[in-house]
Amino acid sequence: MPSLFDPIQLGAIAAPNRILMAPLTRGRSTKGHVPQPLMGDYYAQRASAGLIISEATGISRQGLGWPFAPGLWTDEQTDAWKPVIARVHAAGGRIIAQLWHMGRQVHSSVIGEQPVSSSATATAGQAHTYEGRQDFEVARPLTLEEIPGVIADYERATRNAMAAGFDGVQIHSANGYLIDQFLRNGANHRDDIYGGSIENRTRLLREVTERVASVAGADRTSVRLSPNGDSQGVDDSDPAPLFTTAAKILSEIGIGFLELREPGPDGTFGRTDVPRLSPVIREAFAGPLVVNSDYVTAEAAQAVIDSGVADAVSFGRTFLANPDLPERLRTGAPLNEGNFRTWYSQGPEGYIDYPSLESVAAE
C-alpha cells in the first residue's frame, strides 16, 4: 500500500503527498467578501500540503451568508484572489477553490433576501450574522425556472476561479448546504424532477458537476459529500443507495477526486452513530477517494489508506494550527493546539501566527 507521504495524481493535479488541507472557513475577507492579502500569508504557510482545498467560497450573494467569507462572483473578488494564489504557487503549493452555496443555512440580513432551498424548511438554531447570531428563517423553495440561474452561478464562479489562477475547483455538496439539501430526503420534499426518487434528488448534483467540469475540465473538478448522519439538520432515511448513486454519477463524469466528510460516534466537530459509507462508495467511485474528519495522527491516516478505502486524507483543524503539518507527521514532531476563539475572528491572531518547526528552531 502507498505511504501517506507518497505522491498521488488527483486528476490533473500532481500532489507530492497524500496529506491534503481540508476546507476551513476562517472569515478574513471584507464585508463585501473580497479576499485580503493576509490570506496569502496563511495559505502560503501551508503550501507543503499535497493539495490545499480553499475555505468555502461563495458563488453568489444569495448563496453566501457567512460573515467575512470570500466570494468568487465579482471581478473585484476574482482579482483579489490572484495574489493569494500566486503566493501559494511561489511557495511550491497547489490550491483549488471550494465553491459554496449555503442554501437555507444563511440569514436574510446577510444576503439581502429570503434564504432558498430545495423545499420550505428551516434549520434549527441560529445563523451567524454581522449583528451576532439570529434565528434561522424558513427558506423558500427554488422554482424550476430559477435552478438554471443557480447552475449558471456555479459556472461563473468556476470561470472566475480559473481566471484567478486556482488549480481547480471543488463543488461543496456536503454539510447540509444547498446541493446536500437537494440530495437528502429529510430536507427535499419536492414532487417535481428534483425531488422524490434518488435519480431526481441527484439531478442538481449531476447538472452542477457537468457544468463546472465543462469549464474547469473534469480532471480539475472535485466534489465533497457528507454521506453519514445529520449535517445541520439535513439527513436522509436511506443514505447508502443515495450516496453510492451519487458516487457513480461523479465517477461517470470523471471528476479528479471525491472527498468525504465522515464523522464518527466520537467526533469532535459533529458526531453520528450512522456508519461511514466510504467502503461502499469506494466500490462505486473509480477515481481517487479522500476521507476527512478527526484525522490527527499519521498512524490513523495511514491505516485508512492501508485499508484500501481511501487514497488520501484531508486534515482540517490540525492543519489550521500546524502550517507545516506534513513535516510534523513525517518526523513525529509535537502538534500545536488550535485556538477556537480565533477560528472566525478577523486579523492575524490565530491565523498566521501558529509556529512552524523551522521558526521554533530559529528562536
Place of cell 528562536: 363
Contact of 220 with 179, CB cutoff 8 Å: no
Secondary structure letter of residue 296 according to DSSP: -
Give yes or no: 177 in active site. yes
Contacts of 153 (CB under 8 A, 6+ apart): 59, 60, 62, 63, 73, 101
Q: Whole-angstrom Cα distance, residue 11 to residue 15?
A: 10
Instruction: End-to-end CA distance of the chain: give it in Å, rounded.
Output: 39
Contact of 46 with 54, CB cutoff 8 Å: no
List b or e across 237-267, with b for residues whose CB sees 16 or more CB atoms inside 10 angstroms.
Answer: eebeebbbbbbbbbeebebbbbbbbbbbeee
SS3 label, residue 20: strand
Contact of 216 with 158, CB cutoff 8 Å: yes
Handedness of CA 259, 261, 262, 264 (dihedral sign): positive
Q: Whole-angstrom Cα distance, residue 356 to residue 339?
A: 16
Q: Which of 42, 43, 177, 194 is catalytic?
A: 177
Question: How many contiguous H segments (helices) and E segments (strands) does the chain have?
Answer: 13, 14
Catalytically active residues, by annotation: 177
